[in-house]
Amino acid sequence: MTYAVRYYTKTGNTKRLAEAVAKELGVEALPISDPITEPVDLLFLGNSYYAFTIDPEVRTFVSSLDRSKVGKLVNFGSAAMLNSTYKKVKAVADKVGIPMDSREFHCRGEFKGIHKGRPNADDLKAAADFAKQFK
């Protein structure tokens, strides 16, 4: 099984989760500006809500994925107010024919003092445990 981890973050919260996931999988967490150039069975994609939707950069990244290089997307992320971005990411992935795993990881993230200190050590451990399911 081959893995890749990509993330998009404005606050650093999702990057921290991505690093925990990547460490568990034995790969490097990279920003979405780093394209997928080698085939991977599972692409873990970290993202969050910004203005009640996924960021346009995330939408562009998913739209640009090559179906012959990505077996399946696995969604994860954090947010201060809203929960899962799964449906938003899946809508874009469906358009390019990349399936999404039904499992995902989501936790609270700090934003402007809300959920101070999140993701915390427990959240990072939970993200790593989530990734362990795929090994």
Q: What does the alpha-carbon distance between residue 132 and residue 76 come to, in Å, rounded to a whole number?
A: 14
Q: pTM of the predicted model, to two decimals? A: 0.93
Per-residue pLDDT of the chain (135 residues; tens, 9 = 90+): 999 999 999 888 899 999 999 999 999 999 999 999 999 999 999 998 766 678 899 999 999 999 999 999 999 998 766 678 999 999 999 999 999 999 999 998 767 776 777 899 999 999 999 999 999
CATH superfamily of 3-132: Flavodoxin domain (3.40.50.360)
Kindly tell me the burial class for residue 27, based on how many C-beta atoms sit within 10 Å of its own C-beta (0-12, 13-18, 19 or more). middle
Sequence ranges of the domains in the chain: 3-132
Place of tokens 């490097």: 28
φ/ψ (deg, to 5) at 28: -100, 135
